[in-house]
Every structure is written in structure tokens, then in C-alpha cells.
């Protein structure tokens, strides 16, 4: 396994729409493993393939306190959303140091393939539902910043651009 580079907002490739995984083979399973390693190394709870510049519909998550319950969703699709909404303070590995409240559906049902290529469905609520919606947004080319006011989004974009310039300069 190896850690992968995470694209930082506002990188244009974060806005590409991922394509479905045609076959769950060893290369896809390796990508899942590498994404999990990357997510754990970055202290995240979720990571979409688009964030590591792979335009495939694949995401990984682990919401456990001990980081010992990895979840893999290949070709995830939200098939039901509750009318009830929930507001959650979200962060993102592609938008480091930024956290803000986003309104999402309180409960969802998702259909996907597992790491083994077998289909499954899961009903999710609270953090699980928020995380799945956040990561599926990535696969659809959307970053959580886009849910915020235009003023907040511009400030975050400027902050991320400055951080990227500072990283290049080593400062």
C-alpha cells in the first residue's frame, strides 16, 4: 500500500465528474487500499477517488473511533433521501483547516458495490449520511465549499490558493 497525493481546492480536477468502475479487479482493490491508507494518514473519515486524482466512482470511509472499520463504496448511488434535513459541521481533506456547517438530508439509502464487487445497500443517518453525501458530491465534481455563501467560498478559495503558494515556496 502507499499514500496518495490529495488534490487541494480549488484544483480544477476536483470539479470533474467521475466515471463508473467497469470491473472490480485487483487494480481497483489496490486503489481502495491505497485510499484507505491515505485517509488514515491524513486523519480523515472519508476520501473520494477524485480527491486523489482518479476519476472513478469509488469512495472509502471509516467512522469508527479506533479507525478499524473501513468501508468501501464502488459506484455509490443515493436511491432515497429523507425530507428531513440536518446541519453538520464539515471538513474536507481537500480543503484543510476549513470547517463549516452544511445542510444535508438526515437519512439516505445508498446502493453500491463492495471491495469484493458484490452489490449492497445501506441506510445511513447522521454522520454516516453526511459523510456519504459529502464523498458522493466529490464524485459528482462538487466540493462542500460550494454549499456556503459566495463570500465564504471566495475567502476559502483565496486562503487555499495562498496555502498552495506558501507550500511551493516552502513557507
Locus of grid cell 496555502: 163
The catalytic residues are 135
- Asked whether 38 and 61 are in contact (CB, 8 A), the reply is no
Which grid cell is 126?
447522521
Residue 144: CB partners within 8 Å, gap ≥ 6?
90, 92, 95, 100, 102, 134, 137
Cβ–Cβ under 8 Å, residues 32 and 58: yes
Cell 456519504 maps to which residue? 132
**Distance between CA atoms of residues 61 and 132, nearest Å:** 8
Q: Which residues contact 79 (CB under 8 A, 6 or more apart)?
A: 109, 110, 111, 121
Amino acid at each position: 500500500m502507499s499514500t496518495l497525493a490529495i488534490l487541494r481546492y480549488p484544483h480544477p480536477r476536483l470539479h470533474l465528474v467521475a466515471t463508473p468502475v467497469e470491473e472490480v479487479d485487483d487494480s481497483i482493490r489496490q486503489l481502495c487500499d491505497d485510499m484507505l491508507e491515505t485517509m488514515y494518514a491524513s486523519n480523515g473519515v472519508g476520501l473520494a477517488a477524485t480527491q486523489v486524482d482518479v476519476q472513478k466512482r469509488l469512495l472509502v470511509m471509516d467512522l469508527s473511533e479506533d479507525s478499524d472499520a473501513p468501508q468501501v463504496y464502488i459506484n455509490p448511488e443515493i436511491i432515497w433521501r429523507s425530507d428531513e434535513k440536518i446541519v453538520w459541521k464539515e471538513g474536507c481533506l481537500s480543503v484543510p483547516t476549513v470547517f463549516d456547517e452544511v445542510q444535508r438530508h438526515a437519512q439516505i439509502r445508498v446502493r453500491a458495490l463492495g471491495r469484493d464487487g458484490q452489490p449492497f445497500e445501506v441506510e445511513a443517518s447522521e454522520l454516516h449520511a453526511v459523510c456519504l453525501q459529502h464523498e458522493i458530491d466529490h464524485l459528482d465534481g462538487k466540493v462542500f465549499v460550494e454549499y456556503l455563501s459566495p463570500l465564504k467560498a471566495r475567502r476559502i478559495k483565496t486562503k487555499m490558493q495562498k496555502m498552495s503558494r506558501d507550500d511551493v515556496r516552502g513557507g
